């Protein structure tokens, strides 16, 4: 309330002061004040001239460096940097254009700020072009055609630098701007008034027409020394000449000089106490400023309290969220030191405090985890990876998603770990169920196969009974061959059905696939054929026969379903060379309906199926997990109506 009262008093005082001043205004030229103005103008001319010399020298040197930055792209990039420099150092007041012309003086590209200046055809005349073609730069005013429609008070200046490439004229880098805006044309909105303008022209009267303003000013200058002042009516005109290279320039400084004095002879009391009268607004302004500062401080204090309460509320909210998320969440430094974790992660230690502990001691695959940490530090995040996380009493299989975060201006790693233990159990249960289903299918065919085997043995035995003793060995050898085939058949079935947990072998990749193909053929419909082509050679891989067989069975069953239970499945093996080694590739290709694009992103998700009641949605998920467990990769190529190809890639093992 006090603030508004003071504002009201201040406004009334100003209004009354203006009225009194208007009534008693009396103009008279103050000779002493005028002399001070002349002295000030002289100092301003010299100061402004030196400022302009420094400004031209600094900007021309940087423009020259941009002109020889390299090819056209590098020059334009350097001009962008030059524009940023001018904006930061001086500000783009008024008009500013910088650009690149080709050897025919046509503009290739330009950057403008503020008022657009100089149409393309009016930048260079024959005189300037001749200088540039001779390898000389140009610093001076723009052409009259360029500035014809601009304010006369603006000081337009042009820099032009010829660009040569292998001693051949390449083009011109130029700048056109009102560089004197910082000292040009300012007005004080008071009864004390002055207007200052300045311009830069060539210091050669013959360069201008006799009826032009610049010619008249140069004639007025005559042989005055730099910084001297000529009074013309109410104007003070100063001149400052300087050379830039072989070009002589002249800064012309024009100042309208009005010195008005007034008194209050009609009001003796006001005249006697005018110091107090005219200082009272300043006192009121100081009081107003103090009250405003108090008001602002109160407002800032209130805002700070509100924001602090809001931040505390958000912190509690996120802390609650941090604790209730059903994942293991841990924040640690690059060396593994744990900074913070949620309650679920702490439960792994059964009452122990994980803060300050090292997470590397809780990860089984330490080398692979260290590689993941280095990738996160380098790239900011990493592809989710599976690890064994050991607690005090148990260990769990987790999928770790990690990213880099800033903590007190230092990098730290935030990891969210998803427990895969239940998923692994479910996957293993489904895997065993699939094996039982396949074994059931195989058992149905085994009856027919063994019936044929027994018939062949019976036939050979009958022939042996009817033959002489010399032929008995031949028939016995045939019987043994039949029995060896039956034994091999039983061995392949047993190797698939028995528990093969963690039984990895290193052998030829094609041997794994060949054994699996024999098993696959026995579980597919009679109208589905498997065509196997091997081009992989003897490259070896580390794998499990049962897992390879299971993956191939799942892929071939999907292919059979896609073809409607009729057609040919093409199974092939080959070697592919990657930048990081050789890979054994297993391809399964069908001629079925293909995978629609909108389904492609979901095919590996557990329980996702397009077979309605017939599918479980775990077939391809199992294939992918088997491949990843053996350190491999999986890829798919498919088009609707043209079939699908799955490719499993396993790295070579020595």
Has residue 361 got a pLDDT over 70?
A: yes
Has residue 596 got a pLDDT over 70?
A: yes
Per-residue pLDDT at 31: 57
Per-residue pLDDT at 260: 45
Q: Is residue 239 part of a domain?
A: no
Across 281-307, average pLDDT: 82
Has residue 343 got a pLDDT over 90?
A: no
Domain stop point among 419, 445, 477: 419
Has residue 477 got a pLDDT over 50?
A: yes
More confident site: 449 or 30: 449
More confident site: 27 or 74: 74
- Which residues contact residue 173 at a Cβ distance below 8 angstroms, ignoring those fewer than 6 apart? 63, 66, 67, 75, 79, 98, 99, 100, 101, 160, 161, 163
Question: 288 pLDDT band (50/70/90 cuts)?
Answer: confident
Per-residue pLDDT at 547: 85
Task: Find the CATH number of the domain harbouring 580.
Answer: 3.30.565.10
Per-residue pLDDT at 2: 58
Q: Is residue 230 part of a domain?
A: no
For the chain, give the percent of residues with pLDDT over 90: 9
Per-residue pLDDT at 261: 46
Residues 598 and 459 in one domain: no
Residues 379 and 445 in one domain: no
CA distance 368 to 158: 63
Residues 435 and 487 in one domain: yes
Per-residue pLDDT at 275: 66
Across 587-609, average pLDDT: 83
Q: Is residue 115 part of a domain?
A: no
CA-to-CA separations, 449 to 65, 67, 436, 444, 454, in angstroms, rounded: 88, 87, 19, 9, 9
Has residue 475 got a pLDDT over 70?
A: no
Three-state DSSP class for residue 523: coil
Domain count, the chain: 5
CA distance 402 to 377: 10
CA distance 378 to 458: 72
Where are any strands of DSSP class E within 10-72?
A: none
Listed range (191-205, 235-249, 525-539) with the worst mean pLDDT: 191-205
**Residue whose structure tokens are 């020259």:** 64
Question: 503 pLDDT band (50/70/90 cuts)?
Answer: confident
Across 591-613, average pLDDT: 78
Per-residue pLDDT at 360: 86
- Which residues contact residue 133 at a Cβ distance below 8 angstroms, ignoring those fewer than 6 apart? 162, 169
More confident site: 200 or 608: 200
Per-residue pLDDT at 390: 80
Question: 531 pLDDT band (50/70/90 cuts)?
Answer: very high
Per-residue pLDDT at 28: 41
Residues 488 and 504 in one domain: no
Domain stop point among 364, 386, 419: 419
- Give the β-pairing of 138-141 and 107-114: unpaired
Q: What is the pLDDT of residues 378-426, one digit of tens each?
A: 888 887 878 888 877 677 888 888 999 888 778 899 898 888 777 777 7
More confident site: 77 or 426: 77
Has residue 328 got a pLDDT over 90?
A: no
Per-residue pLDDT at 269: 66
In terms of average pLDDT, the best of 141-155, 459-473, 585-599 is 585-599
Across 567-571, average pLDDT: 93
Residues 511 and 402 in one domain: no
Q: Is residue 308 part of a domain?
A: no
Per-residue pLDDT at 140: 86
Residues 601 and 503 in one domain: yes
Has residue 165 got a pLDDT over 60?
A: yes
Q: Is residue 186 part of a domain?
A: no
Residues 503 and 647 in one domain: yes
Per-residue pLDDT at 450: 62
Contacts 24+ apart (CB under 8 A), 431-436: 431/550, 431/622, 434/550, 434/553, 434/554, 434/622, 435/496, 435/497, 435/546, 435/550
CA-to-CA separations, 235 to 44, 255, 256, 429, 558, in angstroms, rounded: 14, 5, 4, 101, 97
Q: What is the pLDDT of residues 253-273, one digit of tens each?
A: 888 764 544 455 556 666 666
**Residue whose structure tokens are 């022939």:** 463
* Domain around 135: 129-141+155-172
The answer to whether 328 and 349 are in contact (CB under 8 A) is: no
Q: Is residue 68 part of a domain?
A: yes
Residues 509 and 625 in one domain: yes
Per-residue pLDDT at 557: 86
CA-closest candidate to residue 134, choices 245, 208, 59:
245
CA-closest candidate to residue 373, choices 329, 333, 328:
333
The pTM for the full model equals 0.37
Considering the chain, what is the average pLDDT of its residues? Answer: 78
Domain stop point among 439, 466, 496: 496
More confident site: 58 or 436: 58
CA-closest candidate to residue 620, choices 632, 609, 633, 631:
609
Q: Is residue 272 part of a domain?
A: no
Q: Is residue 256 part of a domain?
A: no
Residues 640 and 543 in one domain: yes
- Give the β-pairing of 328-332 and 247-257: unpaired
Q: What is the pLDDT of residues 211-231, one digit of tens each?
A: 888 888 888 888 777 667 888
Per-residue pLDDT at 153: 40
Structure tokens at 493: 């079935």
Per-residue pLDDT at 180: 72
Residues 463 and 378 in one domain: no
Q: What is the pLDDT of residues 232-251, one digit of tens each?
A: 877 888 888 888 888 888 88
Q: What is the pLDDT of residues 620-638, one digit of tens each?
A: 888 888 888 888 889 999 9
Residues 510 and 492 in one domain: no
Per-residue pLDDT at 535: 92
Has residue 176 got a pLDDT over 70?
A: yes
Residues 539 and 446 in one domain: no
- Give the β-pairing of 410-419 and 395-407: antiparallel
């Amino acid at each position: 309330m006090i603030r508004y009262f003071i504002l009201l008093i201040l406004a009334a005082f100003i209004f009354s002061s203006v009225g009194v001043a208007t009534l008693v205004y009396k103009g008279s030229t103050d000779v002493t004040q005028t002399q001070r103005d002349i002295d000030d103008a002289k100092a301003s001319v010299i100061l402004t001239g030196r400022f302009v010399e420094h400004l031209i020298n600094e900007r021309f040197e940087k423009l020259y460096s941009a002109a020889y930055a390299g090819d056209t792209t590098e020059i334009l990039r350097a001009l962008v940097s030059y524009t940023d420099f001018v904006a930061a150092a001086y500000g783009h007041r008024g008009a500013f254009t910088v650009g690149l012309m080709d050897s025919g003086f046509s503009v290739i590209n330009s950057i403008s700020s503020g008022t657009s200046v100089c149409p393309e055809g009016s930048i260079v005349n024959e005189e300037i072009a001749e200088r540039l073609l001779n390898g000389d730069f140009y610093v001076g005013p723009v052409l009259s055609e360029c500035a014809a429609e601009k304010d006369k008070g603006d000081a337009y200046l042009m820099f032009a630098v010829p660009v040569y490439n292998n001693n051949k004229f390449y083009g011109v880098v130029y700048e056109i701007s009102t560089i004197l805006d910082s000292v040009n044309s300012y007005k004080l909105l008071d009864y004390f008034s002055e207007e200052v303008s300045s311009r830069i022209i060539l210091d050669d009267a013959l360069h201008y027409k006799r009826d032009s303003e610049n010619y008249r000013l140069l004639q007025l200058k005559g042989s005055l020394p730099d910084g001297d002042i000529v009074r013309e009516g109410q104007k003070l005109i100063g001149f400052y000449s300087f050379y830039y290279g072989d070009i002589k320039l002249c800064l012309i400084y024009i100042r309208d000089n009005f010195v008005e004095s007034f008194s209050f002879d009609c009001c003796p009391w006001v005249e006697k106490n005018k110091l107090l009268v005219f200082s009272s607004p300043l006192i009121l302004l100081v009081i107003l400023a103090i009250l405003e500062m108090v008001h602002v401080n109160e407002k800032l204090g209130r805002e700070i309290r509100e924001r602090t309460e809001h931040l505390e509320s958000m912190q509690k909210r996120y802390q609650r969220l941090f604790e209730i998320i059903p994942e293991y969440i841990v924040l640690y430094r690059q060396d593994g030191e744990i900074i913070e974790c949620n309650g679920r992660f702490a439960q792994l230690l059964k009452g122990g405090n994980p803060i300050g502990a090292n997470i590397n001691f809780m990860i089984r695959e330490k080398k692979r985890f260290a590689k993941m940490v280095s990738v996160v530090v380098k790239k900011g995040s990493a592809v989710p990876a599976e690890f064994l996380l050991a607690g005090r009493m148990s260990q769990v299989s987790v999928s770790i998603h990690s990213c880099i975060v800033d903590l007190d201006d230092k990098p730290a790693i935030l990891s969210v770990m998803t427990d895969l233990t239940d998923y692994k159990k479910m996957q293993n249960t489904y895997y065993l169920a699939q094996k039982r289903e396949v074994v059931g299918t195989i058992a149905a065919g085994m009856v027919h196969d063994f019936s044929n085997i027994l018939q062949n043995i019976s036939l050979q035995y009958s022939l042996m009974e009817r033959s002489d003793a010399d032929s008995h060995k031949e028939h016995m050898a045939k019987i043994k061959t039949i029995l060896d085939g039956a034994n091999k058949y039983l061995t392949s079935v047993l190797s698939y059905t028995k528990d093969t947990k963690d039984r990895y072998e290193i052998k030829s990749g094609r041997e794994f696939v060949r054994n699996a193909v024999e098993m696959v053929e026995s579980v597919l419909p009679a109208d589905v054929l498997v065509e196997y082509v091997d081009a992989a050679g003897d490259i070896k891989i580390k794998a499990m026969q049962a897992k390879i067989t299971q993956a191939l069975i799942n892929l071939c069953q999907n292919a059979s379903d896609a073809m409607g239970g009729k057609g040919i499945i093409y199974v092939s093996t080959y070697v592919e060379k990657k930048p990081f080694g050789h890979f054994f590739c297993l391809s399964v290709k069908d001629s079925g309906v293909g995978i629609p694009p909108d389904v492609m992103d979901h095919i590996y998700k557990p329980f996702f199926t397009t077979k309605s009641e017939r599918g479980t949605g775990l077939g391809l998920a199992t294939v992918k997990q088997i491949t990843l467990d053996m350190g491999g990769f999986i890829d798919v190529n498919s088009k609707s109506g043209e079939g699908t190809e799955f490719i499993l890639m396993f790295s070579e093992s020595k």
